């Protein structure tokens, strides 16, 4: 068998309420970088945002980065 490291690309549509578009983008990148939502209730209250529904709209294994043989 082979062990493969795969570059996986996923795209999500994120519903997020924030004070402006820039903050919405920054919060979505920061708190959803390691899906699922990593934000705490305290952070949402202090930074005044709320992450709503997440919908995966793209999920594709794009390429093999490294391939190794193993027994």
Domain boundaries, the chain: 12-61
Spatial distance between the Cα atoms of 49 and 39, rounded to a whole number of angstroms: 10
How far is Cα 24 from Cα 30, in angstroms, rounded to an integer? 10
- What is the Cα–Cα distance from 67 to 46, expressed in whole angstroms? 45
5-61 pLDDT per residue, tens? 767 777 878 788 888 888 888 888 887 766 677 789 999 899 988 877 767 777 665
**Model confidence band, residue 69 (pLDDT cutoffs 50, 70, 90):** low
Q: What is the pLDDT, as a whole number, of residue 17? A: 85
Higher-scoring residue by pLDDT: 12, 2: 12
* Cα separation, 29 vs 47, whole angstroms: 14
Residues paired with 4 in a beta bridge: 67
Contact assessment for residue 48 and residue 18, using Cβ atoms and an 8 Å cutoff: yes
pLDDT tens digits for 47-62?
988 877 767 777 665 6
């Amino acid at each position: 068998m082979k062990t493969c490291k795969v570059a996986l690309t996923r795209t999500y549509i994120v519903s997020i309420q924030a004070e402006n578009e820039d903050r919405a983008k920054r919060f979505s990148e920061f708190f959803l970088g390691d899906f699922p939502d990593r934000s705490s209730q305290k952070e949402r209250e202090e930074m005044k945002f709320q992450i709503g529904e997440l919908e995966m709209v793209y999920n594709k294994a794009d390429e093999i980065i490294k391939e190794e043989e193993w027994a």
